[in-house]
Amino acid sequence: MYICICNAVTDKDIKQAVDEGANCLSHLQERLNVGRCCGACSDAAGNCMDKHMARQFDQNEILSF
Ligand code: FES
């Protein structure tokens, strides 16, 4: 699903960026240019990043037991 129409950034692109170390919106902007045109996608990009990071955290917690 497209998150940033201006820069053709998808949720998969954002998840991959998180997997590669992005952990804040400025990191996503540097890597993907998300939110750097009209800015309408900034909240959705941040939410997508937060949800993926939370999922990673939950999986790591499960694996640590
Ligand atoms: S939709 Fe992302 S910058 Fe415009």
Atom of ligand 1 nearest to the CA of 38: 4
* Residue 61 confidence (pLDDT): 78
E strands in 1-65:
2-4, 9-10
* Residue 7 confidence (pLDDT): 97
Domain count, the chain: 1
The enclosing domain of 18 has a CATH number of 1.10.10.1100
* Residue 57 confidence (pLDDT): 86
Contacts of 38 (CB under 8 A, 6+ apart): 6
Q: What percent of the chain has pLDDT over 70?
A: 98
Q: Is 38 in the pocket of ligand 1 (CB under 6 A)?
A: yes
Distance (Å) from CA 7 to ligand 1 centroid: 6
Please compute the mean of the pLDDT values over residues 32-58 and round it to a whole number: 95
Read off the pTM.
0.89
Range of the domain at 14: 2-63
Q: Estimate the crossing angle of helix 11-19 against helix 42-63, to 10 degrees.
A: 50
Please compute the mean of the pLDDT values over residues 18-35 and round it to a whole number: 95
Question: For residue 56, what are the CA distances in angstroms to 8, 15, 46, 59?
Answer: 24, 10, 15, 5
